[in-house]
Amino acid sequence: MSNFADLNLVEPVLRAVLEQGYEKATPIQTQAIPALIEGRDLLGVAQTGTGKTAAFALPLLHNLSKVNVKAKSKKPRALILAPTRELAVQISNSIKTYGNHLHFRTGIVFGGTSIRPQIQNLTKGVHILVATPGRLLDLMRQGHVELDEIETFILDEADRMLDMGFIDDIKLVAKEMPKEHQTVMFSATMPKSLKGLIATLLNDPVRIEVSIAASTSKNIKQQVLFVQKNKKMDLLSDLLADEAKKRVLVFTRTKVNADKVIKFLIQNDIRAAVIHGDKIQKIRERALKNFSEGKIRVLVATDVAARGIDVDDITHVINFELPNEPDSYVHRIGRTGRAGASGVAISLCDLEERNYLRSIERVIKQDVPVNEDHEYHCEKTANAKGSGGKSSKFSRKPRRKKSGSGSFGSGNKGAKWSSNSSGKPVNKNRPFKGRKKRARDKAA
């Protein structure tokens, strides 16, 4: 990792970074920033949590600052496309933070909300536009934005854009740009289906791949609880009875199960909300706001919806269901233990999920400590072959009636920012498969 001071960023950008308390550039930043300052196209395989936003935002601000012009009506100089409103908001906030000492105007456009203020903002002029594809195309068709002066085009979470059926929209958007411009694409995974888009959009790109997949933060204490599928709700309720679990993110694999969990929690008087792709914008925003302000203690989310969550101080992540992709596990648990805080990641694993656990343990290169200290421990699941390798029992205690916080060592190795060239991206069971049109309509 290098010092930011060595990356030759212009002073106002460097100052903003240092004010954020960032000491060292992350691996993706170390590699991407010089290449982007040089004007190269870039293809980055990186997930949230690697520092990828700053990796593209800092050189973007640096490059734009070389030419000091007022924002022109309807003609942004940079366009950042994101698949969801939540991610667009997050990116826009990051740009504002890192551009705090510069005088760029940033605009944001996404669907599901009034178009009028967005038109007004574009008419006034923005230097940097952050957008979801559907709303951007609407605005382009209505003549409120023109892309013929774009200098830098950034696509974030390209794999998810593809999943959500945005590929044609992206091509339409790209066609409107001048021939000479820089293109940057980030994607958490690199499915074959992305190759065509890469070939169309990127010109001799620098390729960078970093992953947090092989390592999990040492601040996160992991544990797995073996349980029968039909006892998971009861176990969850027991776990949440412990008020020390102050801010808890509960993951399910599907929207249907997220709805079942939230119904159960509300029936049990637990202050909770749910966020997933079928929830309208306002409801998702309110849930996130209430969660980050501590008005609700528990947020239930699917993997896709959770990509937009940037809430600090999540004390516990509970995997009500294990993800079928190990990368998602790393991503999920990385929601806690942020910024030096410690966090706990608890996974409820039933018989059918033993194979998922095995894949996860392979990727994170460690066994997840087993917590048997709860009423619903299922020996059959614990002994099932699915986990392959050796048992990962960690802190066996005499079983008690009710679950407590227990004492679990982390047993974790590796640093959050370590770079990894071996972590092969996986791209199975796409969440929006077969529902592309619907997903696009909702997100745009």
Residues that bind ligand AMP (CB under 6 A): 22, 24-26, 29, 48-54
Q: What angle in degrees, to the nearest 10, is found between the helix axes of 281-292 and 85-98?
A: 50
Residue 340: exposure state from Cβ atoms within 10 A (0-12, 13-18, ≥19) = exposed
Nearer of residues 24 and 263 to ligand AMP, judged by Cβ: 24
Q: CB 246 → ligand AMP: shortest distance, Å?
A: 20
Nearer to ligand AMP by C-beta: 29 or 106? 29
Nearest to 220 by CA among 92, 340, 390: 340
Task: Give the residue with the Cβ less far from ligand AMP, 15 or 24.
Answer: 24
The structure tokens listed for 23 are 């000491």
Distance between CA atoms of 186 and 20, rounded to whole angstroms?
Answer: 23
- Residue 29 or 252: which CB sits closer to ligand AMP? 29
Q: CB-wise, 156 or 367, nearer to ligand AMP?
A: 156
Q: Are 247 and 311 in contact (CB under 8 A)?
A: yes
CB 369 within 8 A of CB 395: yes
CB of 255 to ligand AMP, least distance (A): 24
- Residue 122, both tokens: 């574009």
CB of 249 to ligand AMP, least distance (A): 15
CB hemisphere CA count around 227 (13 angstroms):
27
Q: How far is the CB of 25 from ligand AMP (least distance, A)?
A: 5
Which residues are within 8 A (CB) of 39 and not within 5 positions of it... i.e. 6 or more apart? Answer: 63, 182
Report helix, strand and coil shares of the chain as percent, to nearest 5.
Answer: 40, 15, 45
Distance of closest approach, residue 134 Cβ to ligand AMP, in angstroms: 23
Q: How far apart are CA 103 and CA 379, in angstroms?
A: 61
If the CB atoms of residues 55 and 265 are measured against ligand AMP, the closer one turns out to be: 55
The nearest distance, CB 49 to ligand AMP, in angstroms, is 5
| Pairing verdict, β 106-109 and 248-252 | unpaired
Task: Kindly state the smallest distance separating residue 179's Cβ from ligand AMP, in Å.
Answer: 30
For ligand AMP, which is the closer residue by CB, 50 or 121? 50
For tokens 């309720």, the residue is 237
Q: Rounded to the nearest whole angstrom, what is the least distance from the CB of residue 419 to ligand AMP in the complex?
A: 13
Identity of the residue, 312 or 352, whose beta carbon is nearer to ligand AMP in the bound complex:
312
Tell me the CA distances in angstroms from 202 to 37, 161, 334, one per residue in order.
16, 16, 30
Cβ–Cβ < 8 Å for 111, 85: yes
Distance CA 416, CA 435 (A): 34
